[in-house]
Structure 1
């Protein structure tokens, strides 16, 4: 089992990735969330300059946010700065599209995009928007720099798993829970978020709320967006309170209220849900607990085909969170 990190990027993220490297983490993934964070590629390029060993890459890219040539050029640039260390993951877009009022991309569109992107990295001619395109072999030789960069797909359901197999990608990625097809891939990543509980610390302390709360809160966002709107949310503790806050926003702008702070901090509705009893779900919805519980969770992930656990750290002291997770899980790798 490999132990990695994942970041909702901030301007300080490159420094945090350098700390993760010093501690011994395998890889640092960075979200593609331009509506609330610094640019993913600039963040990774800055991290490449500050590190020497740790793997780096976007996890996950949202195809609709950029032309495949732009994604290929960014990948080649990063691979030139950090040779042998780059991997790239793609998805249909949860935060990266829902926060802008759009549904997730259809899988056939993702498949077409990833196929074109991979062929561009290999220097091939690709037809896109009715015309052939190709990465030219310029002085920096970008057309060859990322030929072998691994590609993963975030696939949380059977259709995505089928697409991943048909594209013959290098691995699967999920957030929060495993998927059956992880056993079919040599590289399977689960992204999780939470915090290491201190001895005698209550799971509803202010520190836990700040550090594990963002990973806990996305269950309310996902319940609304994918499982039936307010009716689905209101089956959860604190769901009524969450819905009451969100309902105050006109429906045309409601996605802005729902996804404010997504995986970074609690918004007003999330805070209402926490205070309304939702905090009781935190142990079940996040990668939180003492060292023994966290090790047990990793053992269960391994049984389900996971080969890499990427931990999202949040709150006011991310270096501390990185260090406490590493100490709690020392020897897992």
Structure 2
């Protein structure tokens, strides 16, 4: 059952070479945790950037959000988590998911929930120092002194789950829930629920189709189109959705996923750009957390009432520092006054 934990304000980033610096800025502004995406098709290695962030920070929580089991052997992620724990003691958490951009952007199927269940069990057992059966062999973390921290290693695990199968796995194995797109229906069944959000705080009189909003909220808005396409939804039900789909369909079917996920959550790709010109920006108040300070305050308060204990905000565009500062100023007034 959910407790009455205060809402934490965290940040999330598509992993980039600038991620360590951005995380250091987030720490200086008072963010509680920083999550980095595990998207190797468009990002540097997530563990490498988290390790660099650990050496540039002292307080902020760190972790990958989310790891996709099919991308790495469980020993590789256990070793990465152990190393990060040594560099940032007490600050590390790890989130797992079946794989959206991390798998589909490479033309791969997401992990099954049964595979993810077995994977997370193996990952946690390895960190406890146990011997684990995996893929026909037996393994154990053998790191001697100076090569990794002594086992057991305590690393909280969150699981990204939207449906009943994922919910069952999260209840069985996780310390919390990592969710996106305003999916809050399961929140009160957990004591730790991180909700990933995208968007921007509008200045007075600022229009949704302005160049700044396009850069800061456009990629988050495009996520709705990418997700609807990948999960079999009706993209044409979204503003300018037919325009978006027509551009994607110009790419041969075998490589269409490349057209969908190009610049995913970083900038607008060709289809996103065409849709924006045709009016996709009209969906921004629904698809992202974008609005005036008063409007966003109401929505954030509603999330807290629904059981969300952590807001993980992704800043986007050319001025990441400005976006981070605007959001923390808003949320501090709401949750930390």
Short-chain TM bin: over 0.9
TM norm structure 2: 0.95
Residue in structure 2 matched with residue 301 of structure 1 by the alignment: 303
- The Cα shift of 1:144 comes to 2.9
Report the Cα offset of residue 296 of structure 1: 1.0
- For residue 194 of structure 2, what is the aligned residue in structure 1? 189
- The match for 2:321 is 319
Corresponding residue number in structure 1 for 2:4? none
Q: Secondary structure at the match of 2:223?
A: helix
**1:198 counterpart SS class:** coil
Matches within 5 A, 1:158-177: 158-167=164-173, 169-177=174-182
Instruction: Find 1:204's aligned residue among 204, 209, 212.
Output: 209
User: Does the CA contact (< 8 Å) of 2:20 and 2:52 recur in 1?
Assistant: yes
Distance 1:250 1:300 in 2: 43
1:277 aligns to what? 279
The alpha-carbon deviation at position 198 of structure 1 amounts to 1.1
Q: Does 1:59 align with 2:61?
A: no
Structure 1 residue 146, shift from structure 2 partner:
6.4
CA distance in 1, matches of 2:16, 2:162: 26
Q: Which runs of 4+ in 1 moved over 4 A?
A: none
Deviates more, 1:135-144 or 1:156-165: 135-144
Whether the 8 Å contact between 1:76 and 1:146 is mirrored in structure 2 is: no
Alpha-carbon separation, structure 1, partners of 2:15 and 2:215:
16
> Does the Cα contact within 8 Å between 1:136 and 1:143 map onto a contact in 2?
no
Report what 1:213 is aligned to. Answer: 218
TM (norm. structure 1) is 0.96
Q: Distance in 2 between matches of 1:285 and 1:61?
A: 24
Deviation track 1:222-257 (CA, whole Å, cap 9, x = no partner) reads 1111134xxx11122111111111111000000000
Number of residues paired by the alignment?
329
- 2:184 and 2:303 in contact (8 A); partners too: no
Asked if the contact 2:83/2:149 (under 8 Å) is kept, the reply is: no
CA RMSD in angstroms, aligned pairs only: 1.2
Q: Which runs of 5+ in 2 are unaligned?
A: 1-6
Deviation at 1:273, TM superposition (A): 1.1
Partners of 1:145 and 1:308 in 2: CA distance: 29
| Aligned twin of 2:32 | 26
State the SS of the aligned residue for 2:238.
Answer: coil
Q: Unaligned regions of 5+ residues in structure 1, if any?
A: none
Aligned position for 2:141: 135
Paired position in structure 1 for 2:240: 238
Q: Distance in 1 between matches of 2:320 and 2:8?
A: 20
CA distance change for structure 1 residues 272 and 68 in 2, over 3 Å: closer, same or farther? same
State whether structure 2 residue 123 is matched by structure 1 residue 117.
Answer: yes
Tell me the distance in 2 between the aligned counterparts of 1:131 and 1:178.
39
Deviation at 1:294, TM superposition (A): 1.4
Of residues 279, 285, 288 in structure 2, which corresponds to 1:286? 288
Please say if residues 129 and 151 of structure 2, whose CA atoms lie closer than 8 Å, have aligned partners that are also in contact. no
- Return the alpha-carbon distance in structure 2 between the equivalents of residues 236 and 289 of structure 1: 19
